[in-house]
Amino acid sequence: MMNFLPFALPDIGEDEINEVVDSLRSCWLTTGPKCKQFEQDFAGFLGDDLKAVAVSSATAGLHLALEAIGVGAGDEVITTPYTFTATAEVIRYLGAHPVFVDIDPQTFNIDPENIERAITSRTKAIIPVHFAGLACAMNPIITVAKKYGLKIIEDAAHSFPTSYKEKMIGTLDTDAVVFSFYATKTITAGEGGMILTRNQDIAKRCRAMRLHGINRDVFDRYTSAKPAWYYEVIAPGYKYNLTDLAASIGIHQLKKAWLFQKRRQEMARIYDQELSDLPLKLPPKPSAGDIHSWHLYVLRLNEGISDRDSFIQQMAKKGIGCSVHFIPLHIQPYWAEMYNLRPEDFPKAYATYLSAVSLPIYTKMSEEDQYRVIKSVREVLGCS
Ligand SMILES: *Cc1c(COP(=O)(O)O)cnc(C)c1O
Q: Rounded to the nearest whole angstrom, what is the distance from the C-alpha of residue 83 to the centroid of ligand 1?
A: 9
Q: Could you please report the per-residue DSSP string of 149-162?
A: T-EEEEE-TT-TT-
Segments forming the whole domain that contains residue 23: 14-255
- Backbone region of residue 134 per phi and psi (left: phi > 0; alpha: psi in -120 to 50; beta: other values): beta
Specify if 349 maps to a domain: yes
Q: Residues 235, 261: one domain?
A: no
Q: Residues 193, 105: one domain?
A: yes
Question: What is the Cα–Cα distance from 156 to 152, expressed in whole angstroms?
Answer: 12
Specify if 245 maps to a domain: yes
Q: Residues 231, 107: one domain?
A: yes
Question: What is the Cα–Cα distance from 169 to 187, expressed in whole angstroms?
Answer: 15
* pLDDT at site 220: 56
Number of domains in the chain: 2
Specify if 202 maps to a domain: yes
Specify if 338 maps to a domain: yes
DSSP designation for 343: G
Q: Which of 53, 77, 87, 129 to mutate to test the pocket of ligand 1 (most atoms within 8 A of CB)?
A: 87
* pLDDT at site 222: 56
Specify if 121 maps to a domain: yes
Q: Residues 246, 274: one domain?
A: no
Domain of 91, CATH number, reads: 3.40.640.10
* 68 within ligand 1 shell (Cβ under 6 A): no
Specify if 2 maps to a domain: no
Choose among 347, 156, 361, 343: nearest CA to 275: 361
Q: Residues 312, 249: one domain?
A: no
- Provide the angle, in degrees to the nearest 10, between the axes of the packed helices 58-68 and 200-209: 120
Tell me whether residue 78 is exposed, middle or buried, using C-beta atoms within 10 angstroms of its C-beta: 0 to 12, 13 to 18, 19 or more. buried
* pLDDT at site 224: 63
Q: Residues 245, 213: one domain?
A: yes
Measuring CA to CA, how many Å separate 115 from each of 136, 145, 166, 257, 381? Answer: 13, 9, 24, 33, 37
Specify if 93 maps to a domain: yes
Among candidate residues 36, 185, 317, 364, the one labeled active-site is 185
Q: What are phi and psi of 161, to 5 degrees?
A: -95, 140
Q: Residues 29, 133: one domain?
A: yes
Q: Rounded to the nearest whole angstrom, what is the distance from the C-alpha of residue 185 to the centroid of ligand 1?
A: 9
User: Which residues are within 8 A (CB) of 174 and not within 5 positions of it... i.e. 6 or more apart?
Assistant: 138, 142, 145, 152, 153, 154
Q: Residues 245, 271: one domain?
A: no
Query: Which residue stretches of the chain are H helix?
Result: 14-26, 33-46, 58-68, 86-93, 112-118, 138-148, 200-209, 244-255, 257-275, 308-317, 333-338, 347-355, 367-380
Choosing from 207, 233, 255, the residue where a domain stops is 255
Choosing from 194, 224, 255, the residue where a domain stops is 255
> Which atom of ligand 1 is nearest the CA belonging to 185?
1
Q: Residues 95, 39: one domain?
A: yes
Q: Could you please report the per-residue DSSP string of 206-274?
A: HHHHTBTTEEGGGGSGGGTTS-TT--EE-S---B-PPPHHHHHHHHHHHHTHHHHHHHHHHHHHHHHHH
Intra-chain end-to-end CA distance of the chain, in Å: 21
Q: Residues 190, 267: one domain?
A: no
> What is the reported pTM?
0.97
Q: Residues 303, 232: one domain?
A: no
* pLDDT at site 218: 57
pLDDT digit of tens for each residue in the chain (384 aa)?
A: 568 999 999 999 999 999 999 999 999 999 999 999 999 999 999 987 999 999 999 999 999 999 999 999 999 999 999 999 999 999 999 999 999 999 999 999 999 999 999 999 999 999 999 999 999 999 999 999 999 999 999 999 999 999 999 999 999 999 999 999 999 999 999 999 999 999 999 999 999 999 999 987 655 555 567 788 889 999 999 999 999 999 999 999 999 999 999 999 999 999 999 999 999 999 999 999 999 999 999 999 998 777 999 999 999 999 999 999 999 999 999 999 999 999 999 999 999 999 999 999 999 999 999 999 999 999 999 998
Q: Rounded to the nearest whole angstrom, what is the distance from the C-alpha of residue 59 to the centroid of ligand 1?
A: 6
* pLDDT at site 225: 72
User: Which residues are within 8 A (CB) of 187 and not within 5 positions of it... i.e. 6 or more apart?
Assistant: 160, 181, 250, 253, 254, 256, 257, 260
Domain of 345, CATH number, reads: 3.90.1150.10
Specify if 30 maps to a domain: yes
Q: Residues 317, 357: one domain?
A: yes
* pLDDT at site 176: 98
Q: Does 34 qualify as catalytic in the annotation?
A: no
Let me know: does 158 contact 296? Beta carbons within 8 Å: yes
SS3 call for 99: strand
* 83 within ligand 1 shell (Cβ under 6 A): yes
Q: Which of 180, 324, 358 to mutate to test the pocket of ligand 1 (most atoms within 8 A of CB)?
A: 180
Choosing from 205, 223, 255, the residue where a domain stops is 255
* 57 within ligand 1 shell (Cβ under 6 A): yes
* pLDDT at site 148: 98
* pLDDT at site 67: 98
Question: What is the Cα–Cα distance from 109 to 93, expressed in whole angstroms?
Answer: 24
DSSP designation for 284: P
Choose among 272, 332, 258, 363: nearest CA to 83: 332
Question: What is the Cα–Cα distance from 181 to 194, expressed in whole angstroms?
Answer: 8
